[in-house]
Copies of this chain bind each other. A is one copy, B any other.
């Protein structure tokens, strides 16, 4: 296992991405077509994400469950729009225990059907509601083109599924969970996001409407990063989820679902990464500080170990690299892996009474006296890195968000310096299709409470109904 040179981000963004995934040992293609292996570094980031998000779901009253990974064909077919949306990319189990199955089983592409079937059995009264469930699992969609963390046939995600006694409560849940996602992206992943509603064309199959968070990658390509769906009574009517309301009348329940996936790891790479590899925001980094002793001096090694214990005892996850690689190799490895802070302890520095700290985001070096209390210094540094990453990403996102007034202007922006393009919109799918056909441009989201720009749709010239954001996407 040897480090490979990383292509420059500005020379070939796609190759740079692939190189970072490989060099930081996040994932690699398996011999199962379209499926990747999460190697330890990638898996550790996913575990950090899972841990922090799970805490937020639990704080907001959600409980975890585990549904089966299979959906019988008959159950799948109950909700027409859903089955139409997902059947082109379904994987089917047709043989079990050497025999053909009586009913084929779909490997779940998403679990609305299973949750709805379950809810139909356990929900009886408004007293049973709300039920606010979530599951962490992998799902399968038979994609043709795949790319680690962004699109693969099997991917990891969480899917929340809730059922409520009123429209109002379900609508609030849909919005609340979008905000949980937004805050998580901004506070933990240091990635600013736009929030809004998907168009009818882009909404989830079977939803009344879909809310979304949209992030912008370093190359100006948009990434749909998390969605929260309001189902109203669509699934409850298809799956017969009824409850006795306070007036003792049977009423169909109101549902939501929401999910974020391992795309988040792709977003981390493409928002913060640079030509030296991954750059991880401290709040999500599995290892926040890497301590690198230079040379074999016992004093250096024991100081490194002491520092490691001290940092870990203060909830700053740290690791000494005492392998027999060269110091230069260790520095490069800590960099490529995106570890926020590196501490170098060398002979001469130690004799002069200090150690060196290197921050990953700016690669700035600083020294600190061995007798100084390092904990507040590291804490401050980590906070500073976290803020700096967010601010830089925010500035970039703002600089790459344009306002356009004509069809040609939209196309020109996308062709010359892609990003988010804000325009008025008439609300017609025809205009969406025209942009898609011209340059693969898709609507990202309809902004709420946004002042109209010119009052007319730049594509068709009709009166506008809302302000929308366009972009090219992963």
Contact = CB atoms under 8 A, between A and B. Distances in A.
A328 interface: no
Interface stretch (A89-97, A171-179, A203-211, A401-409): A89-97
A347 to B, nearest CB: 25
A165 to B, nearest CB: 14
Contacts of A154: 68-70
A32 B68 CA distance: 7
Interface string A29-57: 01111011111101110110000000000
A248 interface: no
Contact of A96 (B64, B114, B118, B142): B142
A1 to B, nearest CB: 6
A398 to B, nearest CB: 36
A124 interface: yes
B66 A118 contact: no
A376 interface: no
Interface string A389-407: 0000000000000000000
A425 to B, nearest CB: 33
A94 B97 contact: no
A114 B30 contact: yes
B32 A72 contact: yes
A89 B95 contact: no
B96 A91 contact: yes
A67 interface: yes
A89 B99 CA distance: 10
A257 to B, nearest CB: 16
A240 interface: no
A71 interface: yes
B94 A90 contact: no
A40 B69 contact: no
A98 interface: yes
Most B CB within 10 A of own CB, among A37, A47, A67: A37
Interface string A82-118: 0000011111111111100000110100000010011
B70 A32 contact: yes
Given A30-B114, A118-B30, A128-B1, A68 B98 contact: no
A105 B124 CA distance: 40
A40 B133 contact: yes
Contacts of A88: 97-98
A144 B93 CA distance: 17
Contact of A64 (B35, B40, B75, B138): B40
A68 B35 contact: yes
A156 interface: yes
A65 interface: yes
Given A40-B64, A64-B40, A32 B71 contact: yes
Nearest to A128: B1
A122 interface: yes
Given A32-B70, A37-B68, A118-B37, A97 B107 contact: no
Contacts of A153: 96
Nearest to A143: B97
Contact of A95 (B75, B92, B122, B144): B92
Interface of A: 1, 28, 30-33, 35-40, 42-44, 46-47, 63-72, 75, 87-98, 104-105, 107, 114, 117-118, 121-122, 124, 128, 133, 138, 140, 142, 144, 153-154, 156
In the A-B complex, the 9 residue pairs with the smallest Cβ-Cβ separation, listed nearest first, are A97-B142, A35-B68, A38-B66, A40-B63, A92-B95, A96-B142, A32-B68, A91-B96, A94-B94
Given A32-B70, A90-B96, A91-B96, 15 more contacts: A30-B114, A32-B75, A35-B69, A35-B70, A36-B68, A37-B67, A40-B133, A43-B63, A69-B107, A69-B154, A90-B98, A91-B95, A92-B96, A93-B107, A94-B95
